[in-house]
Amino acid sequence: MILSAIAVIVAAPIDTQGKLFHGVARLYSRTVLKFCGIKLRVEGLDRVDMSRSHIYVSNHASQFDIPAVIAGIPDQIRIVYKKELEKVPFFGWGLKLPKVYIGVDRGGGQEALQSLDAAAEKIRNGASVLLFAEGTRSPDGRLQQFKRGAFNLAVKAGVPVVPLTINGSYSILSKNSLRLRPGTITLILDGPITPPSRNGKETEMELRDRVHAAIESHYVNQS
């Protein structure tokens, strides 16, 4: 992790598109999965045009979800992360300094609105991003209710949403556990959903319900 963070920090001035950053992230993710004895299966890649920008909206059950998505989906995916992670030495610096991934202030108020607007602008300019709609990792392996934030951003950006189901990661490393169990993570991509052109809470909730239903249809209860 330290070596990867140093590499992207040093390369940040010339890596303006973030391609080197993403390449390092993919190599790091594949190495972590292999080292931990985790196999990866991906279904539905043919449903998504990787030449377009998308918002991948997923469930979240384990710390291995992000490495699995970065390693398994051949798209220039950017992570939307909470800004407080920037305070973590090396890891946080590697997130912040290249300005590739998107930090969002989750504390509310004007700063939170500005960070969402900045994220939406980056997506409109060509970035694909990953959002975890539950907001945090599932505590029990069950699919949780989806929060509104991911869909507020999707409507602001006006780009298609790809429902992404992650199965198997909770059994490998659950929340609040240090016990690692080698196994298989399966990623299932649904066809993109185009957000309605109108804005507002009702539009966001409608999109949320459609994405939740798509993920739920593939989700395997891991509790």
Q: Where are the domains of the chain?
A: 2-218
The superfamily CATH assigns to domain 2-218 is Glycerol-3-phosphate (1)-acyltransferase (3.40.1130.10)
Q: What is the rounded average pLDDT of the residues 92-105?
A: 62
Which residues in 32-69 are b (16+ Cβ under 10 Å) and which e? bbeeeebebebebeeebeeeebbbbbbbbbbebbbbbb
**What is the tens place of the pLDDT at every residue in 193-209?**
998 877 788 888 999 99
pLDDT grade, residue 61 (50/70/90)? very high
Q: What is the rounded average pLDDT of the residues 173-184?
A: 91
pLDDT grade, residue 56 (50/70/90)? very high
**What is the tens place of the pLDDT at every residue in 111-140?**
666 666 777 777 777 778 898 999 889 999
